[in-house]
Structure 1
Amino acid sequence: MRKWFALSAIVVALDLYTKYLIQQDFVYGEHLTITGFFDLVRFHNEGAAFSFLANAGGWQKWFFTAVTAVAAIVISYLIKKHHQEKLFSLGLALVLGGAIGNLYDRLTLGYVVDFLFFHIDQLYWPAFNVADSAICVGVGLLLADSFKKSNVS
């Protein structure tokens, strides 16, 4: 069980460290082109995924903080209960680490720092960070695990 929480801690550490580096080297809105399809940027997301509710007036910070705190408690319980289910626990550990990484930003800064920015010509995917990546991969693993379980029944 400790390995799943250790993985979550690694995700949090990597997320916070990369955000720290961006905050040290970039001013808000700055772009650095890396390739023809990828830039490093510094954006601030006051909402949820894809800036959902970013301009809601400030109440969303506390709403997303509360939702994330409850989710972290539930996920921790699920990891403890199902720690021997590798794929399920791996997915949960990644989601937990990502959620805590973004929660830390939201509590300390009032927004989440995003810096990975992919695009094709003038079509841009919303900027994201290591925490968001861990959450997406974790959810993908949870979906894969659910299909695996449904095939066994």
Structure 2
Amino acid sequence: MFGSFLTRITAAQPDPLAANESSLALTALLVRVARSDGAYAASEKARIDQVVTARFNLSDPETKALRAEAETLEAEAPDTVRFTRAIKEAVPFEDRVGVIEALWQVALSDGERDQFEDALVRLVASMLGVSDRDSALARQRVERSE
């Protein structure tokens, strides 16, 4: 189902993603962060839905359908490095801190700061060109708003 999409985003020189593809890729990355600790809690799914609805201005059924597609894509996707590269190409630099903030929202939504989720968010931040400091500030903003 996602074979051609995965082939395109993992190519040596991937083409920029269309808007619907970038929303799918970003949602799949949110799912990957949520699953990285071995548990995929209802609170994490709810937070993904909340982030996706706000970020992409979707209805509830559209959000749930996108998350379902993203869950499948995440399970089939290659390593995080190549997967994140596609998001880097799709998201302008000035918007990447917002991506990291969204990842922290999901990672912290279950009320625990897990080392695996932490490590994955830090890795993704680095690959997106977001500094450790900016990632930490994004995490602190999320923690204050919880």
| Superposition TM-score, scaled by structure 2 size | 0.31
Q: Report which of the two has the higher share of helix.
A: 2
Q: Report which of the two has the higher share of strand.
A: 1
Larger radius of gyration: 1
